[in-house]
Amino acid sequence: MPYPARVTLVEVGPRDGLQNEPHHLPAATKAQLIDRLADAGLSVIEAGSFVSPKWVPQMADSAEVFRLINRKPGVRYTALTPNLKGLGAALTARVDEVAVFAAASEAFSQKNINCGIAESLDRFRPVCDAARAAVVPVRGYVSCVLGCPYQGAVPVKAVAAVAAALVAMGCYEVSLGDTIGVGTPGKARAMVEAVAAAVPIARLAAHFHNTYGQALANLLAVLDLGLATIDASVGGLGGCPYARGATGNVATEDVVYMLNGLGIATGVDLDRLIAASWFAADALDRPPSSKLARAKGRPAVSSS
């Protein structure tokens, strides 16, 4: 199958990235980063999460972040909401879209959200119903689609079943998370093929962490199946607090560079994105982990 002509990038750095950084950024700095990402042309930005601050203290200021961002027309600012309490806070913060997050591994589900898979789905249904009533779209995540830090191998059937359940409760899209970045291209392709038998590929997104350096190769393997939505994190920020050893998502700028080379449109200005990557790196006081930002060096415009 030819590669898609256009790919939608979902920028998850301000949430998936910053949730796992030991250095907590102030809300104003997070908002500045989000504004820079919007100015670089990213049209979907996961800006925070409305979860228990005891579980993920880095995201405790998400309401303040949403208050401080300069909302750019045409950009969707999204957030994670594990339950009705989170959804209520997200709606108050005028979030454009919310996400519920399940796992294909029982052990990871327990560690991440303190309940098993079936119970998590039962908790997400009322969240989807209430979001629908508020006319707010809901995205679904499935974690550990290519392996689990506690259970090891994860059957593709389990991934497909959870993805189908999320769509059945009203998620318009399901993002498939290689939470610990252990996948390889053949396995990534086989997993997406199996899920696409249950959920149309147009409703699937790839959310690949780069722990083992395989994320770009895995993305290419699933682009080849026609998958056209990719989650990525500026500068390769982050990881997951409940998945030991998980490093950041694939870096957004590395993905854009690859897609540009393939002639696939994203609407993203690479120079502005690299400047945003250096802005985040400087705020965190460490170099970006993306190949591209390092190769290009810090641009003069990166200073805030």
From candidates 58, 78, 143, 218, binder to ligand HMG by CB under 6 A: 143
Of 174 and 274, nearer to ligand HMG (C-beta) is 174
- CB atoms closer than 10 angstroms to residue 265: 11
Q: Determine if 51 is a binding residue for ligand HMG (CB under 6 A).
A: yes
Binding map of ligand HMG across residues 207-236, x = CB under 6 A, - = no contact: x-----------------------------
Closest Cα to residue 229, out of 4, 47, 2? 4
Of 238 and 272, nearer to Mg ion (C-beta) is 238
- CB atoms closer than 10 angstroms to residue 184: 14
From candidates 3, 21, 24, 55, binder to ligand HMG by CB under 6 A: 55
φ/ψ region of 263 (left if φ > 0, alpha if ψ in -120 to 50, else beta) reads left
**Helices H / strands E in the chain, number of each:** 11, 8
Is 171 assigned a catalytic role? no
Q: Which does 66 bind (CB under 5 to 8 A by kind): Mg ion, ligand HMG, none?
A: none
> Cα separation of 38 and 240, whole Å?
24
Rg (Cα) of the chain, in Å, rounded? 17
Give the helix/strand (H/E) hosting 232: strand 229-232
Task: Name residues contacting ligand HMG, limited to 78-117 (CB under 6 A).
Answer: 80, 82-83, 85-86, 101, 112-114
Per-residue tokens: 96: 């454009």
Phi/psi at 266 (5° precision): -130, -20
Phi/psi at 49 (5° precision): -145, 145
- CB atoms closer than 10 angstroms to residue 219: 23
Task: Name residues contacting Mg ion, limited to 1-40 (CB under 5 A).
Answer: 16
Q: Which does 83 bind (CB under 5 to 8 A by kind): Mg ion, ligand HMG, none?
A: ligand HMG
Of 179 and 229, nearer to ligand HMG (C-beta) is 179
Of 115 and 220, nearer to ligand HMG (C-beta) is 115
Per CB under 5 A, residues contacting Mg ion are: 16
Per CB under 6 A, residues contacting ligand HMG are: 16, 19, 49-52, 55-56, 80, 82-83, 85-86, 101, 112-114, 141, 143, 177, 179, 207, 240, 242
Which residues does the annotation mark as catalytic?
Answer: 240
